[in-house]
């Protein structure tokens, strides 16, 4: 019998890569999509299967983790072997504007799924999409599974609840529930408002003469960026262990946002010249400002530095990232150029 996986958050960056990964592993994959006014399945359209197809392996269902009824119905009718909870209001800056919605989705969403597992079938394995944002104002460099958490946003605080409720259901109810504490991971499928994608899209458009300016916030924060494709493999490996445990997935390298801009502009052969400081700092191309710093993209409290120590995952999961920053950027630029439609 094929294994059955249920993915909450299937329409997101990681949901798309994980679906493809699990289908290759011969799983039957069920994904949960939200009802939205515009179709939101762009990232998974390439694996869509006709409803009448015999031996279908990929199914989509409407649902929402803030709706307990839908969570209950999905789990009890699909009867999955593994559940991956990737659903989230995942934008840190946005979480300052809609904190309650963020908490409802990210914190209580995880709890709702765990409650159904507890009451319906404790054998279902559960993966919770945890985050390096938990480390926030970092208490140690680099950060590993034992580093103290210090969340710095409503997003991170909501994920802190999800982290501990996952641990609690594992310990209290003997459920195979595990957290992946994942550092930033990017790809051509990254959401457009996250900084890497914003930079790649913005600079490609500037290069092609379809845009004049890119506005950014804090370009001095440092992130440990990996590739989403590598990280979904780690998620799966976490659920294949004999015992449920929490793991950091990271590259162990950190770079500033400004360095990321430098790499992208070099690859596009854009000769940027930086001048000014603070909010007046600008990057010029042929004497014209093309990147400016704008206050609206700063966060009320920032996470200045993230760098992960993934030695536990390396040792116990035999996991390590295959793609470095250069290949992540190459991948993103290639896709952006190929799919650029003049808008």
Could you list the active site residues? 131, 133, 155
What is the CA 219 to chain-centroid distance, rounded? 20
Between 214 and 232, whose beta carbon lies closer to ligand NAP? 232
Q: How many CA atoms lie within 13 A of 263 on its CB side?
A: 18
Residue 135 binding partner per list ligand GDD, ligand NAP, none, with a CB distance cut-off of 5 to 8 Å that depends on partner kind: none
Q: How is residue 54 written in tokens?
A: 């015999």
Between 68 and 96, whose beta carbon lies closer to ligand GDD? 96
Taking phi first (over 0 means left), then psi (-120 to 50 degrees means alpha), and beta for anything else, what does residue 210 get? Answer: alpha
Rule CB under 6 A: say whether 9 interacts with ligand NAP. Answer: yes
Between 58 and 135, whose beta carbon lies closer to ligand GDD? 135
Judge whether 33 and 61 are in contact, CB under 8 Å. yes
Taking phi first (over 0 means left), then psi (-120 to 50 degrees means alpha), and beta for anything else, what does residue 146 get? Answer: alpha
Q: How far apart (Å, rounded) are the C-alpha atoms in residues 59 and 61?
A: 7
Q: What H or E segment, with its residue span, contains residue 285?
A: strand 282-285
Strands 288-293 and 282-285: antiparallel
Judge whether 189 and 18 are in contact, CB under 8 Å. no
Q: At closest approach, how far in Å is the CB of 325 from ligand NAP?
A: 14
Q: Which residues bind ligand GDD (CB under 6 A)?
A: 90, 92-93, 131-133, 183-184, 193-195, 198, 216-219, 221, 223, 257, 297, 299, 302, 306
Judge whether 4 and 78 are in contact, CB under 8 Å. yes
Closest CA to 58 of 6, 17, 95, 106: 6
The dihedrals phi and psi of 41, each to the nearest 5 degrees, come to: -105, 20
- Binding residues for ligand NAP restricted to 57-76, rule: CB under 6 A: 64-66
Judge whether 192 and 261 are in contact, CB under 8 Å. no
Between 10 and 283, whose beta carbon lies closer to ligand NAP? 10
Q: At closest approach, how far in Å is the CB of 121 from ligand GDD?
A: 29
- DSSP secondary structure, 252-265, as one string: S--EEHHHHHHHHH
The one among 113, 182, 307, 328 contacting ligand NAP by CB under 6 A: 182
The one among 4, 20, 170, 185 contacting ligand NAP by CB under 6 A: 185
Q: How far apart (Å, rounded) are the C-alpha atoms in residues 91 and 49?
A: 30
Segment lying near ligand NAP (by CB under 6 A), choices 73-81, 82-90, 119-127, 255-263:
82-90
Residue 229 binding partner per list ligand NAP, ligand GDD, none, with a CB distance cut-off of 5 to 8 Å that depends on partner kind: none
Between 159 and 170, whose beta carbon lies closer to ligand NAP? 159
Q: How far apart (Å, rounded) are the C-alpha atoms in residues 156 and 150?
A: 9
The one among 82, 83, 87, 317 contacting ligand NAP by CB under 6 A: 87
The one among 25, 40, 161, 218 contacting ligand NAP by CB under 6 A: 40
The one among 19, 102, 105, 153 contacting ligand NAP by CB under 6 A: 105
Segment lying near ligand NAP (by CB under 6 A), choices 21-29, 171-179, 183-191, 278-286:
183-191
Residue 105 binding partner per list ligand GDD, ligand NAP, none, with a CB distance cut-off of 5 to 8 Å that depends on partner kind: ligand NAP
Residue 11 binding partner per list ligand GDD, ligand NAP, none, with a CB distance cut-off of 5 to 8 Å that depends on partner kind: ligand NAP
Partnered with residue 128 across adjacent β-strands are 85, 179
Q: Residue numbers of the site for ligand NAP (CB under 6 A)?
A: 8-9, 11-15, 32, 34, 36, 40, 64-66, 86-90, 105, 129, 131, 182, 184-185, 191
């Amino acid at each position: 019998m094929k294994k059955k996986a249920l993915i909450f958050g299937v329409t997101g960056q990681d949901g798309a890569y994980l679906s493809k990964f699990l289908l290759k592993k011969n799983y039957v994959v069920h994904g949960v999509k939200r009802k939205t006014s515009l179709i939101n399945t762009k990232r998974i359209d390439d694996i869509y299967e006709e409803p009448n197809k015999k031996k279908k392996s990929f199914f989509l269902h409407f649902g929402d983790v803030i709706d307990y009824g839908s969570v209950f119905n999905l789990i009890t009718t699909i009867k999955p072997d593994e559940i991956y909870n990737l659903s989230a209001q995942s934008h840190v800056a946005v979480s300052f504007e809609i904190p309650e919605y963020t908490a409802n989705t990210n914190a209580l969403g995880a709890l709702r799924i765990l409650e159904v597992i507890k009451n319906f079938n404790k054998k279902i394995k559960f993966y919770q999409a945890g985050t390096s944002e938990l480390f926030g104002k970092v208490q140690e460099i680099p950060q590993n599974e034992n580093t103290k958490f210090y969340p710095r946003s409503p997003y991170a605080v909501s994920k802190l609840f999800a982290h501990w409720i996952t641990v609690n259901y594992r310990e209290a109810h003997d459920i195979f529930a595990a957290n992946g504490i994942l550092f930033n991971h990017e790809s051509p499928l990254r959401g457009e408002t996250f900084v890497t994608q914003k930079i790649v899209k913005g600079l490609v458009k500037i290069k092609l003469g379809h845009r004049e300016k890119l506005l950014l916030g804090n370009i001095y924060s440092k992130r440990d960026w990996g590739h989403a494709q590598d990280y979904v493999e780690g998620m799966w490996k976490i659920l294949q262990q004999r015992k449920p445990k929490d793991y950091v997935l990271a590259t162990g390298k950190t770079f500033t946002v400004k360095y990321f801009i430098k790499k992208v502009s070099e690859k596009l052969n854009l000769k940027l010249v930086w001048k000014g400081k603070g909010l007046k700092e600008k990057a010029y191309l042929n004497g014209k400002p093309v990147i400016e710093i704008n206050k609206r993209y700063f966060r009320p409290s920032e996470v200045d530095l993230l760098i992960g120590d993934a030695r536990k995952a390396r040792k116990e999961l035999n996991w390590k990232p295959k793609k470095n920053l250069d290949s992540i950027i190459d991948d993103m630029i290639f896709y952006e150029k190929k799919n650029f439609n003049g808008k």
